[in-house]
């Protein structure tokens, strides 16, 4: 038994870190290219769209595209934690929608208690929204770790349930005005989605903070190492004394919190909350993670890669709109890029394995 475990720990994960190619060879060069594939694709996209439209590289368009990216990047960062443990979270789009509806309702009509209506400040509303998302994530985690429901199924179920509750919150309607009233002391919700700070949209700053925190957590904390360990080889992790259930539940909570935050940014920018907010966004988030080199089998991937993946998807989608490509071709191009990225990832694995064999 011990022998098997040793054998398995050997294959335990190392983050896709800067394992430098010490000796230069054509193969090492190829590996370097493959490692940097997401960045290369991004540069290619920028070059192509820049030649197609003079507006693509303008300051204001770069800012706008980065702002559009921030929503998906935040969703994708949360999802990356889950995928690193070998799980999947299909419910993030619905959680974003639910959080948006909860906050929209609190701002628009307040919390109706018997005989009184309570209004919370915008900051409180945002905290409640994120807390709600974290709670739904915790529920995902408990379903998966305690009730042994497969992550795909548990979060697929939550995709429907959370979307259903988002609709129930308003009986299907839209909360059309989230500006708040000074008399109720709940103005300011628009700051996170609309305002800028030091020349950058607040949403972009939030993405930067979330990404920096996530990079720190994954690379510099015991929790981060355990996340990789659980995804790399769960049995080995259990035998190493890691409480895998807690780690997994925590990643679903992180994912839920990120999803809620993204939902609030969307809702804030739109100035309205509707139950369909962020429908199918989970697919964009998972695509960003995979594009950035996160393996769906767990244990391999980086937050920086995911953010880069989100930039590729966002810069691609906005570029296609800017140049005026038809909606149908947009789908074809986006899908092809995602699959191509995974093909390149597989190529990288093969080259890496061959080099390790030498």
Partner 1 sequence: MTSSSASPRRALGALAAATLLTLAGCGTSGEQPAASGASSAAPAAAAKLIVIITPSPDNVFFKAEQDAAAAQAKKLGYETLVLSHDDDPTKQSQEIDTAISRKAAAIILDNAGADASVAAIQKAKDAGIPSFLIDREINKAGVAAAQIVSNNAQGAALGGQEFARLMGNKGKYAELTGKPTDTNAGVRSQGYHSILDQYGDMKMVAQQAANWDQATALSITQTILQAHPDLKGIIAGNDTMALGAYAALKAAKKTDVIVVGFDGSPDVVDSITGGGVKATVLQPAAKISEMAVDQADKFIKTKSTGLPEKQSIDCTLVNKDNAADVTNFAIKS
To partner 1, the closest distance from the beta carbon of 85 in angstroms equals 21
Residue 327 binds to partner 1 (criterion: CB under 8 A):
yes
Q: Is residue 211 within 8 Å of residue 72, measured between CB atoms? A: no
Beta-carbon contacts of residue 11 (< 8 Å; ≥ 6 apart): 232, 233
Residue 122 binds to partner 1 (criterion: CB under 8 A):
no
Residues making up the chain, counted from first to last: 358
Nearer to partner 1, 56 or 228 (CB): 56
Residue found by looking up tokens 């959080």 in the block: 99
Task: Give dist(CA 59, CA 56) in Å, integer.
Answer: 9
Nearer to partner 1, 33 or 128 (CB): 128
To partner 1, the closest distance from the beta carbon of 143 in angstroms equals 7
- Both tokens assigned to 343: 């093909």
Residue 342 binds to partner 1 (criterion: CB under 8 A):
no
Nearer to partner 1, 228 or 281 (CB): 281
To partner 1, the closest distance from the beta carbon of 304 in angstroms equals 25
* DSSP secondary structure string for all residues of 5-25: HHHHHHT----S------S--
Q: What are phi and psi of 200, to 5 degrees?
A: -110, 145
Task: Give dist(CA 204, CA 202) in Å, integer.
Answer: 5
What Å distances lie between residue 333 and 12, 85, 339, CA to CA? 36, 30, 10
Nearer to partner 1, 46 or 322 (CB): 322
Q: 214-217 — which CB contacts under 8 Å span 24+ positions? A: 214/77, 214/80, 214/81, 214/303, 215/302, 215/303, 215/304
Binding partner 1 by CB under 8 A: which of 29, 176, 185, 335?
176
Residue 188 binds to partner 1 (criterion: CB under 8 A):
no
Residue 322 binds to partner 1 (criterion: CB under 8 A):
yes
To partner 1, the closest distance from the beta carbon of 202 in angstroms equals 12
Binding partner 1 by CB under 8 A: which of 15, 78, 105, 232?
105
What residue ranges bind partner 1 (CB under 8 A)? 53, 55, 58, 60-61, 64-65, 68, 102, 105-106, 109, 111-113, 128, 132, 135-136, 139, 143, 147, 149, 157-158, 160-162, 164-165, 167-174, 176, 194, 266, 269-272, 274-279, 318, 321-322, 324, 326-328
């Amino acid at each position: 038994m011990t022998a098997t475990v040793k054998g398995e720990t050997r294959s335990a994960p190392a983050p896709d870190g800067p394992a430098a190619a010490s000796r230069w060879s054509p193969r090492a060069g190829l590996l370097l290219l493959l490692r940097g594939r997401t960045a290369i694709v991004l540069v290619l996209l920028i070059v192509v769209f820049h030649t197609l439209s003079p507006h693509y590289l303008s300051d204001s368009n770069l800012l706008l595209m980065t702002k559009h990216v921030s929503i998906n990047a935040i969703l994708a960062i949360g999802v990356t934690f889950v995928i690193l443990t070998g799980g999947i979270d299909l419910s993030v789009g619905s959680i974003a929608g639910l959080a948006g509806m909860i906050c929209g309702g609190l701002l628009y009509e307040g919390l109706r208690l018997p005989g009184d209506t309570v209004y919370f400040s915008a900051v409180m509303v945002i905290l409640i929204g994120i807390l709600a998302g974290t709670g739904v994530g915790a529920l995902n985690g408990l379903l998966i770790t305690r009730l042994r429901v497969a992550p795909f199924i548990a979060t697929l179920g939550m995709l429907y349930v959370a979307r259903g509750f988002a609709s129930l919150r308003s009986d299907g309607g839209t909360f059309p005005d989230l500006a708040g009233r000074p008399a109720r002391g709940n103005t300011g919700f628009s700051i996170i989605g609309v305002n800028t700070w030091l020349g950058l949209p607040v949403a972009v700053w939030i993405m930067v903070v979330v990404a920096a925190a996530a990079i720190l957590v994954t690379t510099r904390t015991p929790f981060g190492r355990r996340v990789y360990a659980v995804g790399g080889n769960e049995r080995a992790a259990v035998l190493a004394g890691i409480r895998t259930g807690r780690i997994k539940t925590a990643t679903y909570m992180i994912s839920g919190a990120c999803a809620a935050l993204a939902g609030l940014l969307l809702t804030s920018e739109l100035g309205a909350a509707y139950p369909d907010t962020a429908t199918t966004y989970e697919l964009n988030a998972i695509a960003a993670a995979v594009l950035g080199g996160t393996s769906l089998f767990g244990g391999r991937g980086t937050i920086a890669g995911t953010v880069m993946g989100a930039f590729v998807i966002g810069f691609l989608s906005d570029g296609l709109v800017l140049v005026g490509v038809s909606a149908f071709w947009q789908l074809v191009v986006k899908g092809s890029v995602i699959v191509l990225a995974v093909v390149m990832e597989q190529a990288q694995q093969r080259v890496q394995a061959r080099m390790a064999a030498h």
